Amino acid sequence: MEKKERDQLLTEAMDEYGHYLTRLAYAFVKDEAKADDIVQEVYIRYYLKLEQFKGRSSVKTYLYRMTVNECKNYLKSWGFRKIDFFNRKSVMPSSNFTPEEEVLRREEESWTFRLIDRLPVKYKEVLWLHYYAELSVKEIGDILKCPANTVKTRLARGRKMARLTMGEEEIDDAKEY
């Protein structure tokens, strides 16, 4: 494969999936700058391994899988363990909202992040991929290398655990008043 062709494939992938990969990485690491770094690493690996890409899955699935793996590696790393977990920002501020709506949106987003963060990784990742990255059950199965029924089970259990956690949080909030 010629350099020009590889450059073109990389540019197309960045244009088509860049925003989605950044959102996915942020969902895992909760740090905008680190999410950007992870996505950059994914694109570098993608570019270097284009020759090896056999096309058994779509480019989208391939890039999402690489992003999930890179995020998991980061979360296992020493650098991640030193982060102040309370210094998190919203994914992307939106100019489509009034200031009041933006504050409410960020509060809801923060609450959702905290809620899902409490779940075990195997449930957290399918919930993020399904609801946040808007992937199908089949695509998630391809990314996580597990059967579609396993993904469905994890989605159901993750939702149930999130509802239980949400109920506990509401009870804790009521105790404060």
Q: Cα separations (Å) of 45 from 3, 76, 104? A: 15, 19, 38
Answer yes or no: do 128 and 75 share one domain: no
Query: Residue 174's pLDDT is what?
Result: 42
Per the listing, tokens 């690493």 go with 41
CATH number for the domain including 26? 1.10.1740.10
pLDDT at position 90 over 60: no
> Residue 176: which pLDDT band, with cuts at 50, 70 and 90?
very low
Both 8 and 54 in one domain: the answer is yes
Tens of pLDDT along 8-42?
Answer: 999 999 999 999 999 999 988 888 999 999 999 99
Examine the fold and report which residue of 25, 60, 80 is the final residue of a domain before the chain moves on. Answer: 80
Which of residues 90 and 116 earns the better pLDDT score? 116
pLDDT of residue 74 exceeding 50: yes
* Average pLDDT estimate for 55-64: 88
Supply the range of the domain harboring residue 148: 110-165
**Number of domains the chain is built from:** 2
| Non-local CB neighbours of 24 within 8 Å, separated by 6+ positions | 64, 67, 68, 71, 128, 129, 132, 133
Residue 100 lies in a domain: no
| Domain's final residue, options 35, 58, 80 | 80
Q: What is the mean pLDDT of residues 72-95?
A: 55
Determine the 3-state secondary structure of 47 from DSSP.
Answer: helix
What average pLDDT does the segment 77-95 reach?
48
In a domain, 170, yes or no: no
pLDDT for the residue numbered 152: 96
Domain assignment of residue 174, yes or no: no
> At 118, which CATH number?
1.10.10.10
* Shared domain check, 67 and 117: no
